[in-house]
Structure 1
Amino acid sequence: MLKSIISAAALAAMSLGAASAQTIAVTNGRIVTNSDAGIVENGSVLIQDGVIVAAGANVTIPAGVETIDANGGWITPGIFHPHTQLGLIEVGLESSTSDVSAPGASFTAAIDVADGFNPAGGHIPDSRRRGITRFAVFPSTARGVIGGRGALANSSGRPDSLFDDRTFLYVDLSQSGASTAGGSRNAAWAYLRAAFEDARFYPGRFMSHHEGDAINRFDAASLVSAVRGEIPIVLQVERASDIRRALRFAQQHPSARFILVGAAEAWMVADEIAAAGIPVIMDPLRNLPASFDVLAARLDAPARLHAAGVQTAYTTISADLYFNPRLITQHAGNAVANGASWDDAFRAITLTPAEIYGVGDRYGALAEGYAGDVVVWDGDPLEVMSAPVAVVIDGENQSMSSRQSRLAERYAERVPDGQYGYRH
């Protein structure tokens, strides 16, 4: 059950995210609360100092406050994308614009995406225009299966938009991860076991020398929080056999917390995942045998995971993680078209990701005490032809402009033959 009241400390922390104290109301719309209140017809949301103070059908709106009229459209929590590389890559084929991995570095677990995250990245505004207000930022692996530590950010573009760093540790144990560990899954798992042992016995193992069995002193110090369960470990696994191996590893390390990402064949072992209580982040649009890792991928996989009781969030691996996270609502809509309920699919891109990362009492719902992240849509958010008409983050109305939208406007203007095709 959602918490309707959060601590004063949490309220204060969220208030700090707003640039200034203000009150804003979003009115006259169909509210998807993601709470016990369900869907409220013709309701309003009232936000003060960046935090929701009321949401429902009979909300009193103070006179003179800034008001966004939904005009009968949909009012929802902001989309929370659980698996992106927004702010780390500007141009995929230009290495100087990418901070997603470090092939030449000697570090693994100590790598922290917060150090390279750019809140002014060009793809963030376009994601915001599509309703994404929060997202997880992932590193990639380079010289080993451990990619480093990820973070959580909002899409406002403000300098303080990275609101939770060192949130999780990313480990790739799929075929791509195996290729960095010597060429086989056997070597990848051996490396991870050795790294865990190095961290478990830190700092004693490093008293007389700097190197552990797998990682150095600095990496071991960074891995300790994950081994102790203070932050979750996100394991990239695809095949059913690899997922079973990950579940055994989780049983062998009960103090650690795990999340599975990718998980194309998770539907084959859904009951085992549910019994283990491990969340899954997967892409509803993966149904082609793009590699030997995903031969059994299928479009009704999300429906099967939901039915088995697996805590499931959606991602956009098949589209992209740095310039197309904006397509997440379309992926969720396809999950519904292939058997998932609308409620499960919408929750999988809003509240469930927040819960997976431990911030489900602050983000992903329209209820008292939650952050003022609100999106107004001109139709069903999971329909491909629907679009946001307003986005609010921490109680602040956001710009609906991006570089892409400005370019479209600039070049859409037609001019007589012989003149310039655009104007400066």
Structure 2
Amino acid sequence: MRKFLFAAAAALLIAGPAAAETVAIVNARIETVGKAGSIPSGTLVIKDGRIAAVGADVKVPEGARIVDAQGGVVTPGLISPSTNLTVTEVDLIKETRDDGSGTQLSAGFDISYGINPASALIPLARQGGVTRVVVTPTLTGGGDGEDQEEGGSADAGLLQGGGGGGKGDPRLFAGQAAIVSLDASDTDPLVKARVAVALDLGQAGAANAGGSRGASLVLVRAALQDARDFNNNRAAYDRGATRDFGLSRVDLEALVPVVQGRIPLLIRVHRASDIRQALKLASDEKIKIIIEGAEEGWLVAADLAAAGVPVIIDTEADLPDQFETLGSRLDNAARLQAAGVLVVIAGSRDFNNLRQARFNAGMSVPYGMTWQQALAAVTLNPAKAWGMADRVGSLEVGKEADVVIWSGDPLDTQSWPTAVFIGGTQQPMTSRAQQLRDRYAKPDNGYPVQYR
């Protein structure tokens, strides 16, 4: 035990100064995604966890540790705008899922309590250049979640954010999202909890409300009014002197910041007409929203731009696999961008495929976006959408040093990070899969032949 405690203390002493050290990344093509734009050959200095200098003529500070990018590309860390990383290990084993599916809570479910900083899947995301993620809850089924099979979901498709209309009262909201850092040295990676309340509309929302889009919107509007009335009459509520509300106190409390305009609703919606309904909901209720999905967003691009609503999209969604995505097309991102919409590009929500976002960003370029717009859509734009652009998302002096060095074009499938810094701390570039490979690959390591 003493040896263990000594080793742990030593590890802390070693890890402690890492974020405080001064690092100079030299010989780099720097894509700042900021006012400085592209720097063909320059130096970026990290000091005390923040960007201290960036430019073509920056001098290396005395005593700085030098990291030679060898002509590689340096970018801000990628930000995954909506994922279940850190709260799900195996999709089809419900015991490993803390994403909110099956819970009886509605808006009150707080996903931040289930975050697992020791998830074996975090290193995979870091290896893809992802430094921060927005962890969002999943709404699978309604009420008591009895539509799930033992060990998984009755319909794997429901895991991607759509209801099931199960037994019990309709569960309108999926719960509250959180922002998480992927820093390997941080045992408490939560950056900010309760940054939004997730809501499914369209086909999934209809299922959660018993089968009708109209019913889901009526219930959502009623819930928002309940939250206002609850907040304005808390003393009466505590005395039992108010009318009956459709949600529990926990759920009403969670919706108060939404109706006050302090946090947005993350609305998952796909069809053009449903997007218009979401925009009308936001206008009527005077609330902030972020749209996720929006396969038919290009049809209402002008409306989205006029409302100033950020849109999270998968640029590879071009097949009409549902009636509400008949208008899907590969230039959706470019058309939204051209209209003035803040476009955020995502990949799969799945924890094990976050690298797909940068490939999706690359895919958007031949379909109309510029390369710089595509890079911004996986770095600065998600930071803007989620209210952290003052801290991360671009390589500018004073911002937290979430920095990635790439072997080549970061939007190219053949390029990979050679180094990742989060908050100025250089991250390990190994994963459990690699460790297992190395452990059992050598024939002279003393393991039985079955493990070789």
What is the TM-score of this pair, normalised by structure 1? 0.90
Residues 218 and 209 (structure 1), Cα distance of their counterparts in 2 relative to 1, 3 Å cut: farther
- What letter corresponds to residue 278 of structure 1 in structure 2? V
Q: Which runs of 4+ in 1 moved over 6 A?
A: none
- Name the counterpart of 1:275: 306
- Which amino acid in 1 is paired with 2:277? R
Q: Is the 8 A contact 1:333 1:383 kept in 2?
A: yes
Aligned residue number for residue 4 of structure 1: none
Indicate how the Cα distance of structure 1 residues 265 and 167 shifts in structure 2: closer, same or farther if over 3 A, else same. same
Residue deviations 1:86-138 (CA, integer Å, cap 9, x gap): 00100111111001124242x21111111111112121110001100011000
Matched position secondary structure for 1:248: helix
Q: Say yes or no: does 1:25 pair with 2:54.
A: no
Give deviations 1:145-181, integer Å, cap 9, x for gaps: 2011101111113212111111111111131232122
Instruction: Please say if residues 27 and 45 of structure 1, whose CA atoms lie closer than 8 Å, have aligned partners that are also in contact.
Output: yes
Instruction: Please say if 1:386 is aligned against 2:418.
Output: no
Decide whether the 8 Å contact of 2:319 with 2:329 is kept in 1.
yes
Query: Structure 2 CA distance, aligned partners of 1:159 and 1:167?
Result: 20
Aligned: 1:241 with 2:279: no
Given that 1:329 and 1:382 are in contact with CA atoms closer than 8 Å, whether structure 2 keeps it comes out as: yes
| Amino acid in structure 2 at the alignment position of 1:287 | D
Q: Which moved more, 1:45-54 or 1:171-180?
A: 171-180
Q: How does 1:2-401 map to 2 (within 5 A)?
A: 20-105=19-104, 107-142=105-140, 143=142, 144-157=171-184, 158-203=186-231, 204=233, 206-207=237-238, 208=240, 212-254=244-286, 256-317=287-348, 320-401=349-430
Question: Could you tell me how far apart the structure 2 residues matched to 1:43 and 1:322 are?
Answer: 34
SS in 1 for 2:300: helix
The 10-residue stretch of structure 1 (406-415 or 34-43) with the greater mean CA deviation from structure 2: 406-415
Preserved contact between residue 136 and residue 151 of structure 1 (Cα < 8 Å): yes
The offset of 1:214, in angstroms, is 2.3
Report the residue type matching 1:89 in the other structure.
Answer: T
Change (3 A) 1:71 1:188: same
Give the share of equivalent positions with the same residue, in percent. Answer: 41
CA contact (8 A) 2:270 2:296 kept: yes
Amino acid at match of 1:150: A
Would you say the 8 A contact 2:19–2:424 is kept in 1?
A: no
Distance 1:109 1:200 in 2: 14
1 CA distance for matches of 2:18 and 2:113?
23
Deviations 1:294-320 (A, max 9, x none): 111111100101111101101114xx4
CA distance in 1, matches of 2:361, 2:45: 27
- Displacement of 1:276: 1.1
Aligned letter for 1:299? L
From the CA coordinates, give the structure whose radius of gyration is larger: 2
Deviation per CA, 1:348-391, whole angstroms, max 9, x where unpaired? 00000001111111101111011111100010000110111000
The separation in 1 between residues aligned to 2:437 and 2:366, in whole angstroms, is 31
